[in-house]
Structure 1
């Protein structure tokens, strides 16, 4: 297979057309400095409103308007500095600007900290009177509603102050896990397929699990999990401490459970979480079929957990230059209509994208920007199919931001994490549909199907299994039980048996996998990967099947920003995530694609 990797240049040697144009945010560093001074002045100005909010509706409007202005300018300052640093992380000028911007953000956060507590001291009747009295306040109606709906879960100012001081203590379990997992834990070396000694690290583990040599996979799997087993009681202690922290805060804030407390931040009903687990659990047959298909394709008498990552389809050489990748993405997104595609085209031609790796550039990919700028996309593009999907993914985020900012005032110009991955993954699903319908060979089709099914398995099924485990460990402690290492291993292994079925040997070593998953310290975060992917899959199918009516609903969702609660925003697109239907639609597509793959193998 041809090597598609590009060698990085110095940034000054990269053609300008492949560099993003941050001058659309600040024409130069002097303009940034001017805004920095202005933000400092605004930060002092807003503090003068402390203990004044209840005085009048006019004062409230002044405070909220000033808060927006300060947050907006600070966002510009930080984003510019950080993105300039990301261009070349070795650049000391932008290291310094980023440090200053970070310090400014902390200062601004402190200067704004009085606003929410003072708002919560107002009763609902007074808030409504203020909204009716002063016309300009109407735009803040949802913002205020979102604060006031949580009033019963906010404590007295003194209690809140005490609680705030527990912040450092609250992160001890997560920090201890991080230090043990990332700094202190040392894994053995094994021999790779060429007989060379290779040290297992967090970075090298998955590539080793993708090896075509089964002994390499088996050795890496056993060496990694044997290491975790030797620290199982310590990891059980850190995880238990984190769970107890979540439950402690939920009880103090008068919630019925840690799950309810976590989801309430975005006003997401707990039924969304339970629906996901139940619906996926009721529809595991397609995953079991896919596992059996993997066993058949690999020609194995026994399939083991260490066989789940090695490709079952031979890599195909698809060298796709960037300009060709752009055209493929534009064709893949054509189903979203001319307006959407024209905006994408405009962005690609207006230097939204920083395309290639250069020496010192931040790794990975992201879409970013501010309310006052166009979206920006950082890539490290190599000429691979995966990178074409990355471009489509980041453009999904960018168009979501573009539509939100064009159609919403600043206060609602962003969107929640629950919604963030839906637009990006919808783009990937539409691109996949286009490619599957236009591939020229059976090998290419198999490669694409395998790519998509693996993405689906990892994002929907595996993250739902994680979500079910996270729920189980919290409920166990909420009943007054202890999280021992043995109970955690037993529970985790049982979930693997349930999810992966009878055509795979659930090796004993997998029982300790919970110990290496940092997401279990993120307080019910992972379910959003599965709901987001499922929502995107269902939406892409609606767009493909229904055309214009579905497109208009989808664009309506993109335009909504955070002007309503996430569940309601998705309803505008035609999805009710409080019902099993979107999850069922996504799982149905997975089953159909497994059947197609079976026909080709």
Structure 2
């Protein structure tokens, strides 16, 4: 996943909270338990060899250097108010303000990224907590001091702005100003924008409480495959859900969700507060819905969301068919939700050392050409990646960085095939950041998640094709086919399931209905039962799964995983069929585009039209063909 920060948003959305990275795997892949004896394990960060840690001194060599830039940001933010009331006087006045705004946001990115990345790998360090808190305070200050800017630009005469935008000096700001004009009816007065900026930290409170609660919940002890007592946790939950021993995965499933249920009312309060904040923001800004408000910030029509949900619903019989195959291969009388992650193909997947995983990624991405290979080498060898986990390191994975840094990738590598795919995924984000920063000016250097996740899942698709083409045995092919089907289930189907739930809870709150724990559990269980069909027993415990998903605090975020996955299937097909022609088109028109155009237009230039349901339908055909191939192999 790519992390996103405040200054990458348009000015009209500047009061929104920072989006943070998920803490659970998005596409769990079923593999045999890794060989524990081969796993490097570290209790503290100091134990990890430097070659496996990212080099944040590439950003700031010392804390004093960071503090100097913090003071500079504070001064720049205060100085920026000098432009207030003057930008409409002349083109030169507007350009000067835009230049100042760009410089301010560019440096804000840098200080914010450094502080939070430092904290993410050592979250029990109070000094780093203080650093992150200070960065957050600076971000709030910047929001306050720039809150007047969008309303004042929006208030300028349209014909004057259009004339200004034709000049060379305004070219770097054309999209930025264009977005302000596009969102003019949703931009409030200077006073209200300032007020929203001041109270914006409150909107992140539900997510903060949720994160603190999840960090402090202690899950029960369960017995592993050998009968040994082990501590169940957020980080090992999925690995035990993948166990071939049904008793182990059932114990993990029931232990995890029964514990979550003890806190159901608190979870309901946090998610309800989050939803209310979204709905209030949409109402204040004159949007028809929170969904429209969220998508409008990235210039994505609501129809894209609706097309996704409808098309996936139309194709649910394919997922039901896959569940029937799972039940048959697992040889169970009843298929339960705790069976969903377990391998259905008898294939030994050994622990993959990190060195081998890197080579697998490079081989999988060879179709993207030698230039990409050289960038990957650089990322692996020059301190871009933080590899191994410690108890106080943030879970999950992400790619982040600022315009004036190289991309960084956070991993929690455990040696599974899923971890290898995660490397390819984050490398996709890193490539997009690298190319965009090289080609785009700062103001169009960032890119929305809608396009970001296409780059990452494109890499995953190419990885699968390379591995499947080189598979030597029937068992290996079956294993890879199953893994690919699981990617579809975990991304295209599951993330759309999440998207449907997310829209429903916002609609419920808007209609005045209570988002209490029982209502949330019923809604989630009903949607889950619809997606998995009659073959699957929708266990009572699964009704609490909504509380495990941090994505629901990210304001209509998850649908983009599904749309991106569909788009990447189309682009990977073009790469394999067209070769260098497709690679050049994708690199120049997509990976290097940033936010220089609307995301739908960027993808259209790359070769896929997400304004229609066709990419989703085509992806469903790939899912069906993969399912056909697996069933055919099983019959041989």
TM-score bracket, shorter-length normalisation: 0.7 to 0.9
Residue 157 of structure 2 is matched in structure 1 by 123
* Shift in Å, 1:149: 1.1
Structure 1: which 5+ runs fail to align? none
Does the CA-based 8 Å contact 1:316-1:443 persist in structure 2?
Answer: no
What CA distance in whole angstroms lies between the structure 1 residues aligned with 2:327 and 2:175? 52
Q: Secondary structure at the match of 1:377?
A: strand
Residue 94 of structure 2 is matched in structure 1 by 60
What CA distance in whole angstroms lies between the structure 2 residues aligned with 1:362 and 1:178? 11
Q: Secondary structure at the match of 1:367?
A: strand
Q: 1:553 to 1:207 in 2, by over 3 A?
A: same
TM-score between the two structures when normalised by the length of structure 2: 0.83
Q: Secondary structure at the match of 1:53?
A: coil
| 1:163-562 alignment, distance < 5 Å | 167=200, 183=216, 191-195=223-227, 201-226=233-258, 239-240=271-272, 242-314=274-346, 316-356=348-388, 364-479=396-511, 488-555=520-587, 556-562=589-595
Q: Cα RMSD over matched residues?
A: 3.4
Question: Which stretch of structure 1 is more off in the superposition, 167-176 or 280-289?
Answer: 167-176
Q: 1:5 to 1:531 in 2, by over 3 A?
A: same
What CA distance in whole angstroms lies between the structure 1 residues aligned with 2:464 and 2:180? 40
Q: 1:591 to 1:123 in 2, by over 3 A?
A: same
What CA distance in whole angstroms lies between the structure 2 residues aligned with 1:8 and 1:219? 27
Does the CA-based 8 Å contact 2:148-2:193 persist in structure 1?
Answer: no
What CA distance in whole angstroms lies between the structure 1 residues aligned with 2:271 and 2:124? 36
What CA distance in whole angstroms lies between the structure 2 residues aligned with 1:190 and 1:356? 25
* Shift in Å, 1:432: 1.3
What CA distance in whole angstroms lies between the structure 2 residues aligned with 1:170 and 1:12? 35
Structure 2: which 5+ runs fail to align? 1-33
* Shift in Å, 1:68: 1.4
* Shift in Å, 1:62: 1.0
Residue 141 of structure 1 is matched in structure 2 by 174
Q: 1:557 to 1:319 in 2, by over 3 A?
A: same
What CA distance in whole angstroms lies between the structure 2 residues aligned with 1:296 and 1:344? 41
What CA distance in whole angstroms lies between the structure 2 residues aligned with 1:505 and 1:90? 41
Larger radius of gyration: 1
Q: Secondary structure at the match of 2:297?
A: helix
Counterpart among 590, 614, 626 of residue 581 in structure 1 = 614
Residue 114 of structure 1 is matched in structure 2 by 148
What CA distance in whole angstroms lies between the structure 2 residues aligned with 1:554 and 1:373? 23
Q: 1:156 to 1:107 in 2, by over 3 A?
A: closer
* Shift in Å, 1:435: 0.8
* Shift in Å, 1:353: 3.4
* Shift in Å, 1:518: 4.0
Q: 1:392 to 1:512 in 2, by over 3 A?
A: closer
Q: Secondary structure at the match of 1:55?
A: coil
Q: 1:395 to 1:233 in 2, by over 3 A?
A: closer
* Shift in Å, 1:274: 0.6
Residue 28 of structure 2 is matched in structure 1 by none
Q: Secondary structure at the match of 1:525?
A: coil
Q: 1:356 to 1:564 in 2, by over 3 A?
A: same
Question: Which stretch of structure 1 is more off in the superposition, 502-511 or 85-94?
Answer: 85-94
Residue 12 of structure 2 is matched in structure 1 by none
Q: 1:204 to 1:335 in 2, by over 3 A?
A: closer
* Shift in Å, 1:385: 3.1
